[in-house]
Amino acid sequence: MSTHAATALPEPTPAERVRSVLARAVSLSLTTAGQDYDLIGMHSVSAQGQITLHPPAGSPLGREAAESPRGSLAALLEFTDIAPSAVRDRVRARVTVSGWLAPADGGALRLDTARVWLRTPAGAVDVGLDEVTLAEPDPLAVEEAAMLTHLVDAHEELMDDLVGLAGARLPYGMVRALPYALDRHAITLRCEYPVGHCDVRLLFPAPARDAAEAGERIRQLLTAPRDCPHRHHTSTRP
C-alpha cells in the first residue's frame, strides 16, 4: 500500500542527515585491510564534519596504523542511526565514510575522507564532501533521543492526538503508533499494522531552533485548526 503527498514538505538535506547521524553517534564500525573494529566512545567530529579516532595507547588499531607502509591506513567507517523508540525496523539510516587514517596529535587518527554515502529506507545517495563540510547537524539531533523517549514515557496520551492529525490518510487497522523521528521541521510517527507500517510526518508551523521550541511546536500542532494546509505527509511501506 502507498500514499503520496501532493506537495513536498521541508526536510533535512542528505548532507544534513549525514551530519546529524555523525553528531549523535556514540559508536561506529571500522573496517581496514587487516581487521574489523567496533569502536564505542572513541571518535569525535569537528564543526566541519572531520572525523578523528582516539584509540587507546597500544591498541590493535593504533599498531595497525603505525605499521602501515604508506603512513596512512585505508579505512571504511559505518555509522548506524537507530530509532530511539522500540518500533519495527529501527534502523533509520546508515552513513558510510571511506578514506585514510593518518596520525594526529596525542596518538589520535585523523580520517582524510574520500567518499560519503547515506543509505535510508528510501534508497542510497552519494553525498558530496563539500556538502558535508558546509552542512550543519539538525539543531535537535543530539537531544532527539531523549525528547522522543520522554514523549513515550511521560506523555503517552499525546500519541492518540498526534495520530489524529493524520485523519483519513491513515490506512485502517493500525495496532500501535510510536514517535519515530524528530527534526527542526517535523515530528514523524511510525504507525504499525499487522503487516507493515506507515510513517506519518507532521510538519511544524515553523522550524524549531532548539528542544524548547520543538516542544512548543508540538503543542501548536495539537491546538491548531485541523484543516491547516500541508499539515502532514504520509508514506507507507509494506
What span, in angstroms and rounded, lies between the C-alpha atoms of 125 and 95?
10
Return per-residue pLDDT of the chain as tens, 238 residues.
333 434 567 899 999 999 999 999 999 999 999 899 999 999 999 999 999 999 998 899 999 998 988 889 999 999 999 999 999 999 999 999 999 999 999 999 999 999 999 999 999 999 999 999 999 999 999 999 999 999 999 888 888 899 988 877 788 899 999 999 999 999 999 999 999 999 999 999 999 999 999 999 999 999 876 544 444 444 555 4
Q: What local confidence, expressed as pLDDT, does residue 7 receive? A: 52
Torsion over CA: 187, 211, 141, 90 (sign): negative
- Set out the domains of the chain in order of their start, with CATH numbers: 14-134 (2.30.110.10), 144-237 (3.20.180.10)
Backbone angles phi, psi at 76, to 5 degrees: -125, 120
| Partners of 138 in the β-ladder | none
| Partners of 236 in the β-ladder | 198
Q: What local confidence, expressed as pLDDT, does residue 130 receive? A: 97
Check if the beta carbon of residue 43 is closer than 8 Å to that of residue 51. yes
Q: Which helix (H) or strand (E) element contains residue 15?
A: helix 14-24
Check if the beta carbon of residue 220 is closer than 8 Å to that of residue 231. no
Q: Which amino acid is residue 33, in one-letter code?
A: A
| Helical pair 144-154 and 211-223, crossing angle rounded to 10 deg | 40
Q: Return the C-alpha cell found at 18.
A: 549525514
Sheet holding 197-203, edge to edge: 176-182, 186-192, 197-203, 232-237
Residue-wise burial string across 208-225, b where 16 or more C-beta atoms lie within 10 A, e elsewhere: beebebbeebbeebeeee
Check if the beta carbon of residue 189 is closer than 8 Å to that of residue 178. yes
| Partners of 135 in the β-ladder | none
Q: What local confidence, expressed as pLDDT, does residue 6 receive? A: 41
Q: What is the pTM of this model?
A: 0.90
Contacting residues for 168 by C-beta, under 8 A, at least 6 apart = none
Q: What local confidence, expressed as pLDDT, does residue 169 receive? A: 77
